[in-house]
Amino acid sequence: MQNYNELAQSVKISDDKKHVLLDADPSLSLIGKGRSAYVFRIHSTNKALKVFFPDHTHTAKVEAEIYKTVQSIEYYPTLYDAGVNYLVIDHIEGNTLFECLTLGIPITEENIAEIDHALQLARKEGLNPSDIHLRNIFITSEKKVKIIDVARFKQVKSCNQWHDLKSAFHLFYSKSFFPKKIPSFILNSIAAIYKKRFLPI
């Protein structure tokens, strides 16, 4: 297998606003695309390669530094390598909170408490957990919490996203009458409304 840097350089992304994936080494399987990067699983390993878009390479350095800060905290992936435009971290077996909701997999009070604890431990390291949403929190196959996409954990301004998600859990989701399986288009619509600040919780 090629080394991590060679694998990252094999990933070709169009240098425009569309960020089209043009090519990648055959040993990489695409598993996700975010606002700043593509994420691949490296075949025959338990590792994921995150390759940043050409206009977001500065984020690679920031996120690598934050992962190094939280390496002793079990709720965050291990960072194995980092370069100018990539990171190599654990590939997480499990489901995001978004997937749990769309699949009807129960989210428990214990999960919420564990996420709270994970974020508090990051704060003790001098970070400011921000941009916490349904797609960057995993419940692993062992029912443990893992948090990814930590690039915004150093921003200065206050972020209420996790507080609002937790409030929604207690006000709505935890009630026995509330549906535990929600279609993705409804979740995406709620997120869009929330981003426009039309849905205070």
Residues 6 or more apart in contact with residue 82 via CB below 8 angstroms: 60, 61, 64, 67, 88
pLDDT in tens, 4-24: 999 999 999 999 999 999 999
Please state the rounded mean pLDDT for residues 44-51. Answer: 97
Rounded Cα gap, residues 41 and 51, in angstroms: 11
Q: How many residues does the chain have?
A: 201
Q: Rounded to an integer, what distance in angstroms lies between the CA atom of residue 140 and that of residue 30?
A: 19
Indicate which residues carry an active-site annotation. 131
| pLDDT for res 182 | 97
- Picking from 180, 99, 189, the residue whose alpha carbon sits closest to that of residue 141 is 99
pLDDT of residue 157: 86
89-147, pLDDT tens digit by residue?
999 999 999 999 999 999 999 999 999 999 999 999 999 999 999 999 999 999 999 99
Question: Cα 178 to chain center, whole Å?
Answer: 26
Over residues 48-58, mean pLDDT: 97
With bands split at pLDDT 50, 70 and 90, how would you rate the model's confidence at 195?
Answer: confident
Angle at 155 between CA 97 and CA 192, to 5 degrees: 45
Binned at pLDDT 50, 70 and 90, residue 198 comes out as low
